[in-house]
A and B are shown apart, each in its own frame.
Chain A
Amino acid sequence: MASDPNQTEERHGWKWLLATPALIVLVLAASGPLMIVVLYSFLSPGNMGGVAWEFSTDAWFRVFMRRDIFDPENVTVNQAHLAVLWRSVWLSAQTTVICAVLGFPTAWFIATRPPGQRTVWLFLITIPFWTNLLIRTFAIQEMLRNNGTINTALMWMGVINEPIPMMFTDFAVLLGMAYVFMPLMVLPLYAAMDKMDFRLVEAGYDLYASRIAVLRHVILPLVKPGFIAGSILVFIPSIGAYVTPRVLGGGQKMMLGNLIALQFGQGRNWPLGAALAMVLLIITVTALVLYLRAVNRQEDKRDG
């Protein structure tokens, strides 16, 4: 309706100028530096870190391939890099699945509490989300160490005599990431369930569906947007994780983030680090784009 007062929005005029201070800071400290990373990925490494100002695609080449030091003609796939890349994707996927499997019942549990209680449970999920990621990783490290809580408890109970080494394994990284990113799955799932019309579940039962059938044919399709959002919210920080694999995975079980950081530290190959960072960014953006497409498709379906 044209008579709707909210329809008539102000002309922008000079108003957008108010955004300029924020944009200057963001260009200086976010998007500008990102552009320079793109540039650096096409330069040659300097002797003591940094770059030499010569164009080169060597960094990108070395992301996936390697040349034998003694025989430059001998080009092979860069096993080490691909292993890290694969571990990053695989661990992130597993993290997402674990979070979904535990997060769905948790979100359902919260959504079906009486309204007063719901806020409390929701608050309990949100607290870990806002407490320092490093501290939560530290808490997991305390559990997993050789003389940590789990091993001490098991030895005290007489289940084992020797501590089970759990630190610096894929398992430790996986557990840590699932632990720190769990709230990111529960919150959007809860939001989807909160919006869900429970009368539809009643209608399902009324039409002779079993619990499993209701779950499969009514509930899951309705909370699918929450699943998609939660999965993306868990997957993106997982694939870019740095702190958790550094603390729990150590030097052996690196993920992409650690490999990138390494190039700017001991590796002293900034262009390679920049190229690897671009690879990480491309994976992240791809995941985001897939997510946005899924959201749009969902909205189209609702409209049509």
Chain B
Amino acid sequence: MSEPQPTPQPEIEITGLSKVFGQGSAAFKALTDIELNIRTAEFFTLLGPSGCGKTTLLRVIAGFEQPSQGSVRINGQEVAGLGPNARPVNTVFQSYALFPHMTVAQNIGFGLKMLGRPADEVAATTADMLKLVQMEAMADRKPSEISGGQQQRVALARALAPQPRVLLLDEPLSALDLKLRKEMQTELKRLQTETGITFVFVTHDQEEALTMSDRIAVMSGGRILQLGSPSEIYNSPSERFVADFIGDTNFLKVKVVEALTETVNVRLPGGALHSARLPDGLRPAAGDDVSVVVRPEQATLGDGAKAHLTGTVTNSVFFGTDTHIHVNLEDGTPFTLRRQNAGNTAPPAPGTMVGLTLADGALQVIRE
């Protein structure tokens, strides 16, 4: 996370941004002190549960909402106070918001027409865009006459046609079924790479975020909790919320025995010692009680002597490629480990005492 900024000028620069809805006792703080730089040509994702403020942040960037405080710069230019029609960004709406009384081609050409481009340029760009999203055959259909996936493509083409600096996507895939969603994820990534446009993508689907993004901002309660690459977010969650929201996680209460520069050594329940990584800015001292997280695939069943943790199997659930084995540790903490179903070894029966071995670097200290 402390890598140097590759470009001096971020595409979008948000500083001290807050947004309050309503007044007085009914006031609701949707965004609090947002600091965020989005780089040129990156696929940036705002991830969080519904109500976390991600859509509001997107709408502030788009210009549908004005910030209560703070500033938004796009390509160095302050845009607070400008309407959506004066910003070099375009939006793909969750509902697509295709104009029902216009054909597919008219929808795609609308932005350029509003920009006052000559008719032949509008037609040419529209044709290019239809080709880009493989919708040439549907040019003269109305939005109601094409499928949901096709509407999605038209919405994308419409937003890309004016060649914006930034494309904002508000949960654009949530209305599609699973198979189509997977296809569109690949398609979106392809379009982003081909066009070189900065994508700001809003989703509540952690898997979607992990597979598509260059960087992810995890949001909750109107704040950005953690910002980083997908692997950083997954492997080194800095907060309980982030760890819990992304992937399956085990939480353990441990005591710090030795504080080093980048890591700490902690005593696990049961007495074994293990090294744990630290999030930015947290430096616990020896003797502190901290929480650590362990991903289920970072633990393996081992024999009792070398094991870091011991417990009793409560049950096992078969998932095809892997099996989840639920264990109650000696102090009663539940723990889940994931084992690949490569061999044919049967999972241990409920009631079996087992030892758990943790991979090196499996432990990550989190903020509470």
Contact = CB atoms under 8 A, between A and B. Distances in A.
Contacts of B53: 2-3
B97 to A, nearest CB: 10
Contacts of A8: 21, 64-65
B199 to A, nearest CB: 20
Interface of A: 1-3, 5, 7-8
B64 A3 contact: no
B28 A3 contact: no
The 10 A-B pairs with the shortest beta carbon distances in the complex, nearest first, are A3-B55, A2-B30, A2-B21, A3-B56, A2-B28, A1-B51, A2-B56, A3-B51, A8-B65, A1-B50
B59 interface: yes
B54 interface: yes
14 contacts: A1-B50, A2-B28, A2-B30, A2-B51, A3-B30, A3-B51, A3-B53, A3-B54, A3-B55, A3-B56, A3-B59, A5-B55, A8-B21, A8-B65
B59 A5 contact: yes
Contacts of A1: 50-51
Contacts of A5: 55, 59, 64
Interface string B347-366: 00000000000000000000
Contacts of A3: 30, 50-51, 53-56, 59
- Pick the most buried of A1, A2, A5, A8: most chain B CB atoms within 10 A of its CB: A2
A2 B53 CA distance: 8
Interface in B39-56: 50-51, 53-56
Contacts of B56: 2-3
Contacts of A7: 21
Interface in B266-293: none
Contacts of A2: 21, 28, 30, 51, 53, 56
A189 B30 CA distance: 43
Contacts of B50: 1, 3
Contacts of B51: 1-3
A1 B22 CA distance: 12
A3 B219 CA distance: 13
A8 B30 CA distance: 13
A6 to B, nearest CB: 11
Given A2-B28, A3-B51, A5-B59, 13 more contacts: A1-B50, A1-B51, A2-B21, A2-B30, A2-B51, A2-B53, A3-B30, A3-B53, A3-B55, A5-B64, A8-B21, A8-B64, A8-B65
B83 to A, nearest CB: 12
A8 B53 CA distance: 14
Interface string B15-31: 00000010000001010
A7 B65 CA distance: 11
A41 B340 CA distance: 92
A117 to B, nearest CB: 25
Interface in B51-69: 51, 53-56, 59, 64-65
